[in-house]
Structure 1
Amino acid sequence: MTHDNPNSIAEANEGSNTRSVPPTTSPSWQSLVSRQLQSPSLAGRVERSEGRVVRSSLSDSEPHRPSPRRRQLLRRRDLFAIAGAITGWLATPTWSEEPPSIDNLYIDDELDQACDRAIEFLLRNQRSTGAITDRGHELALTSLAIMALAAIGTEPAEPTRRGRAMRAALDFVLGPDHQNDSGYFGAYDGSRMYGHGIVTLMLTEMLGMGATPKQNELIHERLERALRLILSSQAIRKERKLEGGWRYSPQSRDSDLSVSIWQLMALRSAKNDQMNVPGEAIEKALEYLRNSFTGRRTASGVGEGGFSYTPGQSRPSFTMTAAGLLAMQVCGQYDAPEVAAAADWLFSHRPKTNERYLFYGLYYYAQGMHQVGGKYADESGRVVSSLLLPRQRSDGSWMSPGGEERNVGLVYSTSLALLSLSVRYHYLPIYQR
């Protein structure tokens, strides 16, 4: 196949460094806070769940609930207030992170409201099994939905309807029959290596965030097996220019950028989690990524152009250039010439509603350009909002303009839209610079 076909699930339809996370609490007083949470004077104000503090009052039955981001900030403000009350130094804090302000958090409240409506749509499409799907491919789509929920700050341990839904979705993905003996997720729902990469990436982001010790244990065990499958698939002998990449099945002897990026992001996220991922595997994948760069290179090595579906193609595409940009950054290549070239290409080739894989491309575009920062982040923020906010349906979902992407369903497009709009919330560690 020589045409650009990055759609992860649509293809299946056709063919069948240490992680740096902003601390919730300061290590110097976290244990003190934890001990005091059991105090009768604080009863009913907070609950403790796997080391996280949540506001009991934030039930989903409240009228006029704050937006997702504001709820997270309110939780953290409660924690700072509790710590201050306990230690007596609220007025003159000595920790490195100031209590966050919720005043004028974002100018565009429409975005928060759109995210809230989208989450409610996803939850209405959750089945009794815990799967979140409307069009098959249960593991892959449920994993995308879990990442979308996490991207706006939901956690499986939360005692809310959304937290319980996320916990049930994780339980579904972790089901005993969903990963075969070789560690492969893609056979169960027909999503192939696309789905396997999506599920694996989701598990790396949920590592240590399970609602119970048992759920955390299962996440770790399933993740280890999934990573071994990715590594063994990469090691299959391939043509030199295709080495380091992946394709539709674990035994494929060719590669394409669309499949490869999911595996690469999963490996990098797992390495950030200090899982056993050889640095050589990431370097090989990066080399394949560089081979997929399409454009002119000057004597100084600075490229002009973008990324294409497979090495050797003459023209970059919006979706693959956005994907390549994000993947390079996820792997720490912020100053690579390909990153600068891809950002410039995307800045001058603004996506349109008739993009072949609009939602898939916007997901990479929003995250990648946000990490570049400056005018690139400003422009992409405007573009994503202008393309998505007016097109949200009354039920909270988004529908792809047409073609193969529309055939995957509304859970797919809505999850990717949420991941695109959530860049300002900055919760998923894989997308943090």
Structure 2
Amino acid sequence: MNADGTTGTGKRIAYQRRPARLTQQELARAAGIALGTVRKIERGERGVGEGVLNAIAAALGVDVTCLLSGCDRADDRVHQAMPKLSAVLATYDMPEDGPTRPLSELREEVAEVVVWRLAAQYVRISRHAAGLLAELGRAFHSAPARRRVEIAELLVAAYRAADAVAYKYGAYDLSARLIDLMRWAASQADNPLLEATVAYTRAETYLAAEAHAAGLHALEHALDIVPRHPAGPVADAARGALHMRAAVIAGRAGNAEVAAAHLADARCLAAHVPEGTYQGTGFGPDSVRIHELSVAVSLGDGFVRRVLETVGAWVPSDALTAERRSGFHIELARAQLWSGRADRAFTSLQTARRIAPQHTREHAWVREDAATLRRLKRSDAENLSKFAEWCRAGE
């Protein structure tokens, strides 16, 4: 990728420097590039290579897509990566020959990819997923049996990160394939709690297909077989995450009683689990509170008004993952819109965008609600129109 400064990337970098309170020299130092390079980029006198652009985005503390010119650049980069990813999945059991780094280095890269997933950095994941999965496949099939267990766990995490991209960008067949491979890899690992991770992730296929009864049955079956011992935060978080997702699916099905029961079980487990990320899934009291809003939005107006009163001015802590925090504001926007609070709804959508722009832009509810707001709202019409165009509202 070569982002051409003359098409707007340079201007976007200059614009983002202001809220970051960085001079050109400070940005150059933080990004590890020459001051002259920053100056030329901002003036549109030279293009921006991918490595430089990522370094600048990291120094500014923004998502790289905020610096790209053109609404479809992120989409293009993700979709261009899909064929290569599909090819790697087709040869998961007979990977092509190639180099394989030491397990310690693979472990570090998988950990980094998991961080990207939780931060909704889908473009970054798409750029690395195929190569990482191919290398993990070679490592798994060439390793002695005693080493395969850990590599299998790494495969589960890497498949899940790739699935996050496929699912968010509507490649549901590819997503289903990745989840099947998650299940295969989990079966190779000596970690029963990984089955809960797979079941949690697999539930998205039921949500996409609106197969709520089947999804709820699958999650409740997973709860029955997930081991309760040894007790501890990781095991409790695994069960709690399943209850949260079951509550959401029950809400989508309009079953308020079942949703409430699962939320109650999740709250009970969260009372003993500090908020955090367990086996790649966020769980704790704040996560449950966010899911209460999600369930209320699924159930409709009567539930929304009650939960809005409960939420009040509360917002998730910055310690929660970007994807989960942006999801909260997206669902809060829908609740506010349904309650006749259009201005607040637009503010919530803008907050979601600041937290995780890629996640926000690819969320179907964002497009629907932005289109509705554009029809209803008159104040701040220019910013609303720009936002609606950014998220492709009405498509």
Q: Normalization by structure 2: what TM-score?
A: 0.41
Q: Which has the higher contact order (CA 8 A, sep 6+)?
A: 1
Q: Normalization by structure 1: what TM-score?
A: 0.38
